[in-house]
Structure 1
Amino acid sequence: MNLFNRIFKIGQAEAHSAVNQFEDPIKMIEQGLRDLRLDLDKALHALAEVKALAIRSRNEAETERGRALDYENKAVLLLQKAHRQEMEAPEADRLATEALLKKTQHEAQATRATQEQQKFEASAQQLDQNVQQLKSTISQWDNELKTLKARVTVSTATKTINQQLAQLDSSGTVALLERMKDKVATEEALAESYGQIAQESKSIDQEIDKALGKDGSGQASADLQALKAKLGLG
């Protein structure tokens, strides 16, 4: 497991220009995270196996120490039995010696198992540190990936908008808008001009009628007198 080389490889996905041209940094980071998770699974499996070996060695050491103690007790019982003259002293010594040899053998086995237990526990401790480091690295890059995805979304949208703004003049959009603005201003001026002309024409007609006494008040007075005469009110 080459953790730091893998992390460096992930870092290259964002920094190296060739990678930026030919690879998708987000996809590379996602692949890197998948690789790290596979490494984590392997590390957890190895950690479990080493811990199991340490437990087995510990149990073996305890068993061997128990057997050594049992043979020591047997040697004591043999000597005590000879002392009570319940058996021949030479035979008791011989058997007690054999028991003590067995005790020594089991003590050696217990020592060996204890040493193996210590080695396995040291290996398990190192593996556990690697596991914790992998978990921390995966968590860090998970957060980095979320941030990078957000940055890509923003940068893509910004790039699209900037490209559209940069192409506005070349596509004639701004020129079209300016022409429409000028056309509206021209139409407004033309409407105002026609209004002024209409007002001037109306004013001239009113002046002519006034000069000729056709303001309408004389005719209205004549009509009033005719109506009164018709009604016998005059």
Structure 2
Amino acid sequence: MISIFKRLLKIGQSEIHALVDRMEDPIHMVEQGIRDLKEELADITEQLAQAKASKIRLSNKAEHNRRHAEQMEEKARTILLKHHAGELEINVANRLAKEALLYKQDLLAELDNLQDQIESQGEVVEKISQKLEILRYNISKWEKELTILKAKQKVTQASELANRHIATMDTHGTIVMLERMKNKADHSEDLAQAYEEIARQNTIHDEKEIKSKEKSAEEELESLKQQLKKGE
């Protein structure tokens, strides 16, 4: 299904503004737009992978040709050495060496063509990479915008709800509500103070109990020391 954002590209600017004005859920539309961008990101990522794979294949082919050309030159040299060693006749040696060198020239010519293709493919990879980075930036940007938009919507909805409640209250009802909230706050504060006093008393009691135990232990320790001295 063609997304609404892709369809928007086919109509005029004024029509786009008019359509956007009629959209009731901007958050939903932004989310859809981000999904469309991510689909495009996946497509471009695939294109980049294909372009890089093509460049790698060309580079491997070029390296193969380069090594093969060196091998052909070495083969021609070996053939001539065999002639000098008396292993091959001059005519045979010249023919075989020439064939090897001709093949080397073909390989080098193909290598030049491959180098041009590699350079061209490198430019394609660079262009796709730039497009990919721009798309990633835009996705990140709009995801942040969406977060802000959602936060604003929550604040707006909360404010609207509060205003609606306040608007439906009469003055007396509002005053009664405020008095109840004040009394509740005062009660909570008194209760917190009471808990604080109880906690303080418990702390004092615990401290006294600890000191009492320490004193008892010290007295018992002294008693044991005295017993040990008597036993010596």
Structural mapping, 1:177-192, within 5 Å = none
TM-score when normalising by structure 1 = 0.62
Larger RCO (CA under 8 A, 6+ residues apart): 2
Matching residue of 1:30: 31
Give 1:61's aligned residue: 62
Counterpart for residue 79 of structure 1: 80
| Inter-CA distance 25–177: structure 2 relative to 1 (3 Å threshold) | closer
Percent identical? 35
Q: Write the distance in 1 (CA, Å) between the matches of 2:22 and 2:104.
A: 72
Distance change in 2, residues 1:51/1:18 (3 Å): closer
Pairwise CA distance, 1:93 = 1.2
Partner of residue 127, structure 1: 128
**For residues 122-175 of structure 1, what are the alpha-carbon distances to aligned partners after superposition, in whole Å with 9 as ceiling and x for unaligned?**
21122112222211111111110010011112222323444555566xxxx34x
Distance 1:62 1:81, change over 3 A: same
Specify the code of the residue in structure 1 equivalent to 2:131. N
Q: Residue type of the partner of 2:124?
A: S
State the match for 1:118 in structure 2. 119
Moved more, 133-142 or 105-114: 105-114
2:158 maps to amino acid = A
Q: How many residues align?
A: 165
- Indicate how the Cα distance of structure 1 residues 18 and 116 shifts in structure 2: closer, same or farther if over 3 A, else same: closer
**1:121 Cα offset (Å):** 2.0
Q: Cα RMSD (Å) of the superposition?
A: 2.8
Counterpart in the other structure of 2:48: 47
TM-superposition CA deviations, 1:170-209 (whole Å, max 9, x none): xxx34x669x9xxxxxxxxxxxxxxxxxxxxxxxxxxxxx
Q: Where in structure 2 are the equivalents of 1:1-234 lying within 5 Å?
A: 16=17, 18-165=19-166, 173-174=170-171
Q: Where does the alignment leave 5 or more consecutive residues of structure 1 unmatched? A: 181-234
Query: Using the alignment, how far apart are the partners of 1:144 and 1:98 within structure 2?
Result: 68
User: Which structure: larger Rg?
Assistant: 1
The TM-score with structure 2 as length reference comes to 0.62
